A and B are shown apart, each in its own frame.
Chain A
Amino acid sequence: MRKNRSIMSKRKAKYAHLPIGESITQVQSMLRERLCNQRLPDKPEGTEAQHKHLLELLRRTAIHGESNSVLIVGPRGAGKTMLLKCVLRDLLEDKEAQKSLLQVHLNGLLQTDDRIALKEITRQLHLENVVGDKVFGSFAENLAFLLEALKKGDRSSSRPVLFILDEFDLFAHHKNQTLLYNLLDVSQSAQAPIAVVGITCRLDVLELLEKRVKSRFSHRQIHLLSSLTFTQYLQRVQSQLSLPQDFPDVKFAQDWNDSIKTLCEDKSAEEALRRHFNSSKDFRSLHILLMLCLSRVTVAKPVIKPADLLEASRLCFVDAKANMLHGLSILELCLIIAMKHLNDVYEGEPFNLQMVHNEFKKFLQRKSNSMYNFEQPVIMKAFEHLQQLELIRPVDGSAAKTQKEYQLMRLMLDHSQIMEALQKYPLCPTDVKQWAMSAFG
């Protein structure tokens, strides 16, 4: 009996139909890894030429022992790191490269100093024991020692090393650019086969390099400037959300992929995506949008509907300052309106608390009741709260030498933001609204 049951279960596994909860969990895990953890795609998307170029270059270093240097340049979220990782993955499929290539990953945010960078290089090459307590006269000596130590027993040349410098522009701010100079120097001379790959978001990165460093660089740059059309963008959305072939529940995956296709063809969803496409084409903002949509997928609602996309889009495009204005007290809102009037009349010149209070008092005099007739210290507290929220900022100057009431400030909001916020403000008294909309305050 037992044997039969196991044979039956094996046969069933082929056409597995998971319970819906399990499927949803799988979908979430898989897509979250793709959107949040930057799981590598199987093939490069839209960057085939750059992929080929970089792969060829690194292969020459890894297998043929040729020294190279290259910079990958592109705006934030364009997919530079993803490109490099895909290339490395494809490179290491080659047995010979896998055997002999060494990698050193440095990041400009972490290794803020050449000394720290050198320690990190030593650590990643597993040469701490070899270096021991040796003291070196200069950076160059140290680096030469490390590369020398990489020489294998009988081979005359050392193993190829791949240096990956993330946030390359930050390395250019180190003292004398020692690390860059030495690495690029080694890549130009025939000391050891190294490849230096820099990743940066600054297009003008070459201007940051010193002359001697720039001359040793091969000036090879790979640009990832996205030239996507809207159709390609829609395709990308679809591919990011689709489930792969090897999903356990085949039928569920099919239904899911169909629903994604329907989503991309829906008119309102397309409008929202077009708006996103017009503001930025990079991967990251797309991932944020899709992540917000994905978080609304539950067992009760196992698909992504156009309404989800619209809601996610609204969350992405909301004006943060308007949100903060919504939560101010009436007194603080009145002060903002007084500042707006001052800006209108005096064309954006800075103001201080006394002027704002004066303007506010003119409004109060017109009203019959004195509901908002607060004392100066209470107004001061409200004013300081606005300063803490950075809705007003002091004009640079000696803050210590002037009294608080007389310190000049600027308003960091513009006319339309204030008027829009007023429309949405809860329980806004009509006279305050009218005051805001009147021309001369």
Chain B
Amino acid sequence: MTSVLQHPGYDEEKLRRVTEQTPCREAQTGLLLSLMGQPQQYSYPSIFVYGHRASGKSHVMQVLLKELELPHATISCVECVSNALLFEKMLLSLFGCEAASLLPRTPSLSDFVRVYRHQCVDSPATQTRYIVMEKAELLRDADVNLLPALLRLQELVDDNLTVILLSEITWDKFRPNTGCYEPLVLHFPDYSKGDLQQILSRDSHPSYSADFYSSYINILLGVFYSVCRDLRELHHLAALNFSKFCEPLAEGKVKESDTHKLWRNIEPHLKKAMQTVYLREVSSLQWEQMQQMEEKEAGALKGLSAHTHVELPYYSKFLLIAAYLASYNPARTDKRFFLKHHGKIKKTNFLKKNEKTSNHLLGPKPFPLDRLLAVFYSVVDSRVAPSASIFSQISSLVTLQLLTQVSHDDQLDAPKYKCAVSLDFISAISRTVNFDIVKYLYDFLDPDTAASQEEWVNRGYVSRVRDHPSR
């Protein structure tokens, strides 16, 4: 039910091609076209288009400008980090290389406007010129005068020119302090689930029917739609996993119409994809290779996070455990945990404990070196001499970014550190040295019995330690 785009100033055939290439975006294309008007008419000096990523903003602009053959310059603000690159690209696209070479070495905005005006005298505009700036939110970090000047560029250069800014961020966050020329703000809405289905089903594989691919997309959206609506990501995931989906078909086990069996085959695979490829834990190449291997051989897919698990020397492990305890236990509780004859600590209102003050929610606290060593000596079972090798291990832990140094580099006598590892990580490490860390953590302390750790696991405060591929 696509409506046909029509506009007096533009060729019908070209508009038909535009409609073909911009599915589910007819309303927005129509609106943009009507604002642009006929080529020789003026358009509003600056237009700001915002919308989620992969909602078709750049795509629609590019298709419109290319198919209708309008003079334009497309600039990505990610590429053009300096003013020189920006102005050169604009002049190059609109007027050619001779104009771009007229700019001095480090051009200011004044030079750019001067050269532009000069070029206009030679080639006055018969059609509206467009400058499209993608990722326009980066303009806020450029020179302070650049954004306001771009918004009123039509007035400054006295030419039939329109600047279109595309961004993910709303206009309220762009406005400079003393105000500026307000652009016309347009919104590109996100694709609905039906739209996504329609667009993704367009690239069906030639050897399978369109319905078959459609059902595949349906299953994919069922798994991923609640997490991600980015068209680019979904497109990528669809392309990666299609071969696995067709596997039982290729092997002859099922027919095309056997959707339930196909679903049962692909669903766990997609769930696994969510934990790995979606998070970029493994690269797409590794994923494809893994799919081709037999199931038995595949084994555990080693993601990026697994590489953070480093094999540490014996005392380093205890240093790290001591650092974790020092970070997540308040200092007043050290006495209770680490001394032989300790008193009971009063935990008043234990049951009404405010969850927010649980240290595991607030994050690690800094601790001085002395405290670290004090805890270390009490947790390590053998007698250790305080030699330089112990201190150098602390420094290497900092280099490995398992500890963070909080104090300034200059303070040599009392350095402060923070522990930067997660509970799962430290639990894995403490298991390798047979140390029960949960018993020593204040947040998981139960005054009645120590065997209520199961309760804590059930409540979800601690997750079961996974089997890391260690040793």
Give the distance to chain A from B39, nearest Cβ to Cβ, in Å. 11
Which residues of A from 95 to 125 have beta carbons under 8 Å from B?
A: 107-113, 116, 119-120, 123
**Which stretch, A146-154, A233-241, A354-362, touches the partner chain B?**
A354-362
Q: Are B404 and A401 in contact (CB under 8 A)?
A: yes
**Which stretch, B165-173, B306-314, B432-440, touches the partner chain A?**
B165-173
Bitwise, B134-173 to A at CB < 8 A (1) or not (0) is 0000000000010011001011100010000000111111
**Which stretch, A10-18, A57-65, A258-266, A374-382, touches the partner chain B?**
A374-382
Bitwise, A123-167 to B at CB < 8 A (1) or not (0) is 100000000000000000000000000000000000000000000
Q: Is B445 an interface residue, CB under 8 A from the partner?
A: no
Contacts of A406 in B (CB 8 A): 362-364
Q: Is A223 an interface residue, CB under 8 A from the partner?
A: no
Q: Are B189 and A382 in contact (CB under 8 A)?
A: no
Give the distance to chain A from B430, nearest Cβ to Cβ, in Å. 19
Q: Which residue of B lies closest to A37 (CB)?
A: B42
Q: Are B182 and A324 in contact (CB under 8 A)?
A: no
Contacts of A354 in B (CB 8 A): 360-363
Q: Which residue of B lies closest to A372 (CB)?
A: B226
User: Among B173, B185, B225, B228, which residue has its beta carbon within 8 angstroms of that of A390?
Assistant: B173
Q: Are B35 and A378 in contact (CB under 8 A)?
A: no
Q: Which residue of A lies closest to B463 (CB)?
A: A376
Q: Which residue of A lies closest to B45 (CB)?
A: A36
Q: Is B452 an interface residue, CB under 8 A from the partner?
A: no
Give the distance to chain A from B192, nearest Cβ to Cβ, in Å. 6
Q: Is B31 an interface residue, CB under 8 A from the partner?
A: yes
Q: Is A295 an interface residue, CB under 8 A from the partner?
A: yes
User: Among B31, B108, B189, B363, which residue has its beta carbon within 8 angstroms of that of A352?
Assistant: B363
Q: Are A427 and B193 in contact (CB under 8 A)?
A: yes
Q: Are B225 and A403 in contact (CB under 8 A)?
A: no
Give the distance to chain A from B38, nearest Cβ to Cβ, in Å. 7
Contacts of B38 in A (CB 8 A): 25, 28-29
Q: Is B245 an interface residue, CB under 8 A from the partner?
A: no
Q: Are A111 and B110 in contact (CB under 8 A)?
A: yes
Q: Are A36 and B44 in contact (CB under 8 A)?
A: yes
Q: Is B356 an interface residue, CB under 8 A from the partner?
A: yes
Bitwise, B86-125 to A at CB < 8 A (1) or not (0) is 0000000000000000000000111001100000000000
With A285-B182, A291-B44, A320-B185 as given contacts, are A378 and B37 in contact (CB-CB < 8 Å)?
A: no
Q: Is B178 an interface residue, CB under 8 A from the partner?
A: yes
Q: Are A284 and B155 in contact (CB under 8 A)?
A: no
Alpha-carbon gap, A291 to B182, bound state (A): 13
Contacts of B415 in A (CB 8 A): none
Q: Which residue of B lies closest to A400 (CB)?
A: B404
**Which stretch, A45-53, A86-94, A326-334, touches the partner chain B?**
A326-334
Q: Is B14 an interface residue, CB under 8 A from the partner?
A: no
Q: Which residue of A lies closest to B226 (CB)?
A: A330
Give the distance to chain A from B441, nearest Cβ to Cβ, in Å. 15
Contacts of B172 in A (CB 8 A): 320-321
Alpha-carbon gap, A77 to B172, bound state (A): 18
Give the distance to chain B from A441, nearest Cβ to Cβ, in Å. 12
Q: Are A378 and B279 in contact (CB under 8 A)?
A: yes
Q: Is B384 an interface residue, CB under 8 A from the partner?
A: no
Q: Are B170 and A320 in contact (CB under 8 A)?
A: yes
Which residues of B from 260 to 293 have beta carbons under 8 Å from A?
A: 274-275, 278-279, 281
User: Among A29, A107, A355, which residue has its beta carbon within 8 angstroms of that of B156?
Assistant: A107
With A109-B145, A110-B113, A378-B274 as given contacts, are A29 and B41 in contact (CB-CB < 8 Å)?
A: yes
With A201-B178, A365-B460, A388-B168 as given contacts, are A36 and B43 in contact (CB-CB < 8 Å)?
A: yes
User: Among B52, B184, B355, which residue has its beta carbon within 8 angstroms of that of A327?
Assistant: B52
Q: Are B42 and A32 in contact (CB under 8 A)?
A: yes
Contacts of A110 in B (CB 8 A): 108-110, 113, 145, 149, 156
Which residues of A from 68 to 83 have beta carbons under 8 Å from B?
A: 75-77, 81
Q: Is A255 an interface residue, CB under 8 A from the partner?
A: no
Alpha-carbon gap, A325 to B409, bound state (A): 44
Q: Which residue of A lies closest to B146 (CB)?
A: A109
Q: Are B180 and A76 in contact (CB under 8 A)?
A: yes
Q: Is B84 an interface residue, CB under 8 A from the partner?
A: no
Contacts of A76 in B (CB 8 A): 179-182
Q: Which residue of B lies closest to A173 (CB)?
A: B144
With A299-B8, A327-B55, A329-B228 as given contacts, are A33 and B42 in contact (CB-CB < 8 Å)?
A: yes
Q: Is A272 an interface residue, CB under 8 A from the partner?
A: no
Give the distance to chain B from A332, nearest Cβ to Cβ, in Å. 9
Q: Is A21 an interface residue, CB under 8 A from the partner?
A: yes
Q: Is A8 an interface residue, CB under 8 A from the partner?
A: no
Which residues of B from 191 to 226 have beta carbons under 8 Å from A?
A: 192-193, 225-226
Q: Are B356 and A377 in contact (CB under 8 A)?
A: no
Q: Which residue of A lies closest to B50 (CB)?
A: A320
Q: Is A346 an interface residue, CB under 8 A from the partner?
A: yes
Contacts of B186 in A (CB 8 A): 315
Q: Are B361 and A116 in contact (CB under 8 A)?
A: no
Q: Is A318 an interface residue, CB under 8 A from the partner?
A: yes
Contacts of B179 in A (CB 8 A): 75-76, 201
Give the distance to chain A from B77, nearest Cβ to Cβ, in Å. 15
Give the distance to chain A from B224, nearest Cβ to Cβ, in Å. 9
Q: Are A324 and B52 in contact (CB under 8 A)?
A: yes
Q: Is B418 an interface residue, CB under 8 A from the partner?
A: yes
User: Among A24, A315, A378, which residue has its beta carbon within 8 angstroms of that of B278?
Assistant: A378
Contacts of B192 in A (CB 8 A): 426
Alpha-carbon gap, A327 to B391, bound state (A): 52
Q: Which residue of A lies closest to B185 (CB)?
A: A320
Q: Is B420 an interface residue, CB under 8 A from the partner?
A: yes
Alpha-carbon gap, A402 to B51, bound state (A): 31
Q: Is A249 an interface residue, CB under 8 A from the partner?
A: no
Q: Is B227 an interface residue, CB under 8 A from the partner?
A: yes
Contacts of B363 in A (CB 8 A): 352, 354, 402-403, 405-406
Contacts of B422 in A (CB 8 A): 405
Q: Are B225 and A32 in contact (CB under 8 A)?
A: no
Give the distance to chain B from A129, nearest Cβ to Cβ, in Å. 17
Alpha-carbon gap, A96 to B305, bound state (A): 80
Contacts of B173 in A (CB 8 A): 390
Give the distance to chain B from A197, nearest Cβ to Cβ, in Å. 17
Alpha-carbon gap, A67 to B365, bound state (A): 68
Alpha-carbon gap, A113 to B106, bound state (A): 14
Contacts of B41 in A (CB 8 A): 25, 28-29, 32-33
Give the distance to chain A from B143, nearest Cβ to Cβ, in Å. 8
Contacts of B190 in A (CB 8 A): 326-327
Q: Is B34 an interface residue, CB under 8 A from the partner?
A: yes
Contacts of A320 in B (CB 8 A): 50, 170-172, 185, 187
A-B contact pairs, 30 of them (CB 8 A): A25-B41, A28-B38, A29-B41, A33-B42, A36-B42, A75-B179, A108-B145, A109-B156, A110-B108, A110-B109, A113-B108, A116-B110, A169-B178, A201-B178, A292-B35, A292-B184, A299-B8, A320-B172, A324-B170, A327-B55, A327-B189, A329-B225, A331-B226, A352-B361, A354-B361, A354-B363, A371-B226, A378-B278, A403-B364, A403-B420
Binding site for B on A (CB under 8 A): 21, 24-25, 28-29, 32-33, 35-38, 75-77, 81, 107-113, 116, 119-120, 123, 169-170, 201-202, 284-285, 288, 291-292, 295-296, 298-299, 315, 318, 320-321, 323-324, 326-331, 346, 352, 354-355, 358, 361, 365, 371-372, 374-375, 377-378, 381-382, 388-390, 401-403, 405-406, 426-427
Q: 10 shortest A-B CB distances, which residue pairs?
A: A327-B190, A406-B363, A320-B170, A295-B34, A330-B226, A327-B52, A110-B110, A109-B149, A36-B42, A76-B179
